[in-house]
Amino acid sequence: MHSHCFAAYTRYAYTCPLCFKSLGNLEMYWRMIDRLLEAEQLPAEYAGRRQSILCNDCGARSEVAFHFVYHRCASCKGYNTRIV
């Protein structure tokens, strides 16, 4: 990837475009998402639903609480995950 393309890419993305791992330490960002989710309440029809995910950072598979956007890895506690 060209250095100027990479610089433009990292203004909007936090993961490697090839392996999807986080490009740096995002613990502070993950804690911001934690606080956001603590303040949010999902509609009653979604309470108790679970979602299967794969963590792009640690490779763990987890069953986690459903959310429309964010799914926290049960292993490394990050949000760089995808639904499986």
Contacts of 83 (CB under 8 A, 6+ apart): 51, 52, 53, 71
6 assigned to some structural domain: no
- Which uninterrupted H or E stretch holds 4? helix 3-9
pLDDT at 78 exceeding the cut of 90: yes
36 assigned to some structural domain: yes
8 assigned to some structural domain: no
Give the CATH number for residue 57.
2.20.28.10
Domain hosting 36: range is 25-83
Mean pLDDT of 61-78: 96
| pLDDT at residue 47 in the model | 86
Mean pLDDT of 4-21: 92
Q: How many CB atoms lie within 10 A of CB 61?
A: 13
15 assigned to some structural domain: no
Residue 80: pLDDT band with limits 50, 70, 90: very high
| pLDDT at residue 84 in the model | 96
pTM listed for this prediction: 0.86
Q: How many domains does the chain have?
A: 1
69 assigned to some structural domain: yes
- Copy the structure tokens of residue 62: 């987890």
**CA of residue 1 relative to chain centroid, distance:** 24
10 assigned to some structural domain: no
